[in-house]
Amino acid sequence: MKKLGFLGAGNMGGALIRGLIEFGAIDADNVYVCGHHPEKLRAFSKELGFHISESLEQMAKDTDAILFAVKPYHIEAVLEESGNCLKDKIMLSVISGYDFDRYEKLLPPSVRHLYIMPNTPSSVGEGVLMFEEKHNLTESEHAWVFDMFSKIGSVFTLPSRLMPAGAAVAGCGPAFIAMVLEALSDAGVKYGIPRKTAYALAAQMTLGTAKMQLETGLHPGEIKDGVCSPLGTTIRGVQALEKAGMRSAFMDAVDAVMQYGK
């Protein structure tokens, strides 16, 4: 069994660590984590049972592969200072904007690397994990990574040019959908439903609708039409959402993400 290190255990890194361990993708004894917040890391380690590494250099000695989950503005300084310890290692990265070609200019030639864009529902085994099509892992290494991550969600392979759009839709999407859940729950509370119950109603409805689309392959419009009866209540709500520009608002949100840094 390969040993996997994590540089960074924030929102995304932490979600992956939790998902991979709790869903049996990797044994906690084969996980090493290095992070900036010792107290939080110790509590997290006590909960899940992984090892804590004091430095990237030490973690590189103890592991076969390292997953980078630090902030984008840290990565180049980290690699400049400690990149040589990655020689002959597997490097996985979930850092937005750092694709294969960009890493080729930053890493020692012997490093085999893959850019992955996951999302936070990976922590509960329902993630979306987008693998960049371009990589230099061996066939067996890629199979190991693919099998590991497929245990915490659905794995998709995208060409490099589509990774940013995939990140905007599926990586940022949980925040957008959480806002929908909150808004629907607020409406339920407005009309007397207890807050906890309102959250549960909205969340289960979202889960069920998504599962229906995935399992039937129905166009989302067909699912909508299946709820909208002539002279009924739902079509009135649909009209209100159309008047409010709901579709355009979601597309604008993705546009805003895509324009960041340009």
- CATH for 4-170, options being 3.40.190.10, 3.40.50.720, 3.40.605.10, 3.40.50.300: 3.40.50.720
Check for a shared fold between 4-170 and 175-259: no
Integer Cα distance of 248 and 262 in angstroms: 21
Tell me: the pLDDT tens digits for 7-39?
A: 999 999 999 999 999 999 999 999 999 998 889
* Whole-model pTM over 0.85: yes
Pairing of strands 4-7, 65-68: parallel
Walk across the sheet containing 153-158 and list its strands. Answer: 51-52, 31-34, 4-7, 65-68, 90-93, 112-117, 127-132, 153-158
């309102």: which residue's tokens? Answer: 198
Q: CB–CB of 113/88 below 8 Å?
A: no
Tell me: the pLDDT tens digits for 120-160?
A: 999 999 999 999 999 999 999 999 999 999 999 999 999 99
Domain range list for the chain: 4-170, 175-259
Q: CB–CB of 125/153 below 8 Å?
A: yes
Domain 175-259: assigned CATH number = 1.10.3730.10
Residue 229 scores a pLDDT above 90: yes
């893959």: which residue's tokens? Answer: 114
- In one-letter notation, the amino acid at residue 183 is A
Residue 1 scores a pLDDT above 80: no
- Closest alpha carbon to 201 in 179, 214, 184, 213: 184
Integer Cα distance of 257 and 15 in angstroms: 21
